[in-house]
């Protein structure tokens, strides 16, 4: 398991190092080393879509942020499909068809995800209900509690005693 995480990570590291070296050696001649296309508008759209998608190799990163090989390939794929005139929705569908809802950082509301969306509010309702019932019961308990004859006498004695002395 760890292997599958480490191998791409190690490769990514090597690539970053390699890119760094290349960038250093060409720094005098060119500024851009790894930029994929010259169109900033297109790149912004690619990033916007990539930020909606989870990288399956490093599962807590978006495809926009990840250096994993697969993320690089998928960004390339997004760019290509945008160039072909596909919409954002079409590209997200393309990803879901291959990797499942898991790739979406915002899972859709459907039968299998209802618990995910409604669960927290359901729990809140239950907790609120328990609270209301408990508070009511407590209040009623205080009001209806009756003193025994002995307790009443004891209290009266104490009060009388207090008022008697100056």
Binding stretches for another protein (CB under 8 A): 1, 3-5, 7, 11, 56-57, 59, 69-70, 73-74, 77, 96-102
Per the rule left: phi > 0, alpha: psi between -120 and 50, beta: everything else, 19 is alpha
CB of 107 to another protein, least distance (A): 13
Closer CB to another protein, 89 or 158, in the complex = 89
Minimum gap (Å) between residue 125 Cβ and another protein:
17
- What is the C-alpha to C-alpha distance for residues 75 and 22, in angstroms, rounded to an integer? 22
End-to-end Cα distance, the chain: 84
Are 51 and 40 in contact by the 8 Å Cβ rule? The answer is: no
Smallest gap from Cβ 20 to another protein, in A, equals 21
Nearer Cβ to another protein (133/155): 133
Closer residue to another protein, CB minimum distance, 97 or 111: 97
Cα 66 from chain centroid (whole Å): 17
CB of 2 to another protein, least distance (A): 9
Q: Which is nearer to another protein, 3 or 29 (CB)?
A: 3
Q: Would you say 130 or 135 has its CB closer to another protein?
A: 130
What is the smallest separation between the CB atom of 76 and another protein, expressed in angstroms?
9
């Amino acid at each position: 398991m760890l292997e599958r995480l480490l191998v791409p990570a190690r490769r990514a590291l090597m690539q970053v190092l390699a890119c760094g070296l290349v960038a250093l050696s060409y720094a005098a001649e060119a500024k851009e080393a790894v930029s994929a296309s010259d169109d900033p508008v297109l790149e912004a759209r690619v990033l916007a879509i990539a930020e909606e998608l989870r990288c399956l190799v490093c599962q807590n990163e978006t495809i926009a942020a990840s250096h994993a090989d697969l993320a690089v390939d998928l960004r390339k794929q997004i760019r290509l499909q945008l160039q072909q005139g596909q919409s954002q929705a079409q590209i997200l569908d393309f990803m879901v068809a291959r990797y499942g809802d898991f790739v979406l950082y915002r899972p859709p509301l459907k039968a299998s995800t209802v618990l995910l969306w409604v669960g927290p509010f359901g729990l809140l309702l239950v907790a609120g209900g328990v609270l209301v019932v408990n508070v009511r019961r407590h209040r009623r308990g205080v009001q209806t509690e009756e003193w025994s004859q002995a307790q009443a006498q004891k209290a009266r004695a104490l009060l009388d005693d207090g008022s008697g002395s100056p």
